[in-house]
């Protein structure tokens, strides 16, 4: 049997977003957080086939669109990528909104606004258009908070590293320049790919974070290496690692939210401040601390993240049951 997936391929500031508009598995009309669990249990082969080689690659990422089970949302979004199904993805949201609007996959109730149901919660969107093209998407993310600060991890090859752990839709180990790590300029891509999984595992072992109010969300998934910007308009730069080998080419939306929560908790950003974040390839998101809230016992912020995406093609992908590499592979 041949399965067909009708995709719109896009990228957000350099990071891929494969939007599955047709062919995704049918899921029951339950909240997106439960759809995510059902998909992971029963349909993960779809993610593997569409994300891994030979149909995808080490950094592939995407979404599958579903009707929302919430009255106050226009559409439901399931995030799929090489590392699994994230609760929330910022670059994925910006690319998905751009592709869905430009390709007529969603009709907004109010021009310039949309609301998405994601597994991590409701995410409101404001966007600007020039004719049929979407110019910019701002997402008002789920609350972000600093989970732990000044945690010492002993890392083979680096020594003692002082890190923070922060949540912005996913949990991020935040590494800033210090005695045993001088910054991004002295690091190769293979250094990032070698050291990040060790740091992630050490942080998970030390902290094993669970979301304060949502039992569906837990675990350290990303490592954010932070440094000073190279571009005058930016406030900071990062390289975000996830999955087995992926380094985000965009400035990372949930990572930028987690970083703002960390800087806010440390008094280095105030509510109302703008934060321009530069990616490893020099693309930028314009982020803002929109407000403050609480998440269980933690002080949290309401972050927003704005960026651009471009649709790069239509892609009808076949997955053939006879293909010995039907669910792909990773080197």
Q: Which residues bind ligand PYC (CB under 6 A)?
A: 15, 61, 86, 89-91, 242, 248, 250, 252-255
Least CB distance from residue 184 to ligand PYC, whole Å?
Answer: 17
Least CB distance from residue 180 to ligand PYC, whole Å?
Answer: 26
Q: How far is CA 248 from CA 183, 233, 287, in A?
A: 17, 20, 17
* Alpha carbon 316 to its chain's center: 24
Least CB distance from residue 14 to ligand PYC, whole Å?
Answer: 11
* Long-range interactions of 34-40: CB distance < 8 A, separation 24+: 34/216, 35/66, 35/76, 35/78, 35/119, 36/78, 36/85, 36/87, 36/119, 36/216, 37/216, 39/64, 39/78, 39/85, 40/84, 40/85
Do 303 and 144 form a contact (C-beta atoms < 8 A)? yes
Do 285 and 240 form a contact (C-beta atoms < 8 A)? no
Rounded CA gap, 176 and 182, in Å? 9
CB atoms within 10 A of CB 136: 16
Give the chain's length.
331
Least CB distance from residue 324 to ligand PYC, whole Å?
Answer: 30
Least CB distance from residue 328 to ligand PYC, whole Å?
Answer: 19
Return the number of the residue (91 or 288) whose C-beta is nearest ligand PYC. Answer: 91
Of these residues, 7, 73, 89, 226, which one is catalytic? Answer: 89
Residue 73 annotated to the active site: no
Return the number of the residue (73 or 137) whose C-beta is nearest ligand PYC. Answer: 137
Residue 204 CB-density burial (10 A; 0-12 exposed, 13-18 middle, 19+ buried): middle
* Alpha carbon 145 to its chain's center: 16
Do 319 and 155 form a contact (C-beta atoms < 8 A)? no
Do 9 and 310 form a contact (C-beta atoms < 8 A)? no
Least CB distance from residue 3 to ligand PYC, whole Å?
Answer: 26
Do 55 and 20 form a contact (C-beta atoms < 8 A)? no
Rounded CA gap, 128 and 137, in Å? 7
Rounded CA gap, 247 and 252, in Å? 10
Rounded CA gap, 239 and 248, in Å? 7
Three-class SS of residue 313? strand
Return the number of the residue (98 or 250) whose C-beta is nearest ligand PYC. Answer: 250
Return the number of the residue (96 or 250) whose C-beta is nearest ligand PYC. Answer: 250
Return the number of the residue (80 or 202) whose C-beta is nearest ligand PYC. Answer: 80
Return the number of the residue (17 or 319) whose C-beta is nearest ligand PYC. Answer: 17
Return the number of the residue (13 or 65) whose C-beta is nearest ligand PYC. Answer: 13
Least CB distance from residue 91 to ligand PYC, whole Å?
Answer: 3
Enzyme catalytic residues: 89
């Amino acid at each position: 049997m041949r399965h067909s997936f009708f995709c719109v391929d896009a990228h957000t500031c350099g990071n891929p977003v494969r939007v599955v508009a047709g062919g995704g598995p049918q899921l029951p009309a339950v909240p997106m957080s439960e759809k995510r669990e059902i998909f992971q249990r029963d349909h993960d082969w779809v993610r593997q086939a569409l994300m891994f080689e030979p149909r995808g690659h080490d950094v592939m990422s995407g979404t599958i669109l579903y009707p929302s089970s919430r009255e106050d949302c226009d559409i439901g979004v399931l995030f799929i990528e090489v590392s699994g199904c994230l609760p929330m993805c910022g670059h994925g949201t910006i690319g998905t909104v751009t592709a869905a609007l430009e390709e007529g996959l969603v009709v907004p109730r109010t021009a310039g606004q949309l609301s998405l149901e994601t597994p991590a919660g409701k995410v409101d969107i404001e966007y600007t258009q020039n004719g049929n093209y979407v110019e910019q998407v701002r997402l008002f993310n789920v609350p972000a908070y600093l989970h732990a600060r000044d945690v010492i991890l002993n890392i083979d090859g680096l020594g003692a590293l002082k890190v923070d752990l922060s949540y912005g839709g996913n949990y991020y180990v935040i590494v800033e320049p210090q005695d045993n790590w001088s910054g991004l300029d002295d690091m190769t891509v293979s250094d990032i790919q070698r050291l990040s999984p060790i740091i992630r595992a050490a942080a998970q072992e030390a902290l094993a974070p669970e979301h304060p109010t949502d039992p569906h969300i837990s675990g350290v998934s990303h490592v954010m290496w932070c440094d000073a910007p190279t571009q005058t308009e930016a406030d900071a730069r990062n390289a975000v690692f996830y999955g087995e080998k992926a380094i985000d080419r965009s400035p990372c939306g949930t990572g930028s939210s987690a970083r703002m929560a960390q800087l806010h908790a440390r008094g280095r950003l105030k509510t109302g401040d703008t934060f321009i974040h530069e990616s490893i390839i020099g693309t930028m998101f314009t982020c803002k601390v929109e407000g403050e809230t609480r998440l269980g016992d933690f002080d949290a912020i309401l972050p927003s993240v704005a960026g651009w995406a471009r649709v790069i093609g239509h892609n009808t992908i076949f997955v053939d049951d006879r293909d010995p590499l039907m669910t792909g592979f990773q080197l």
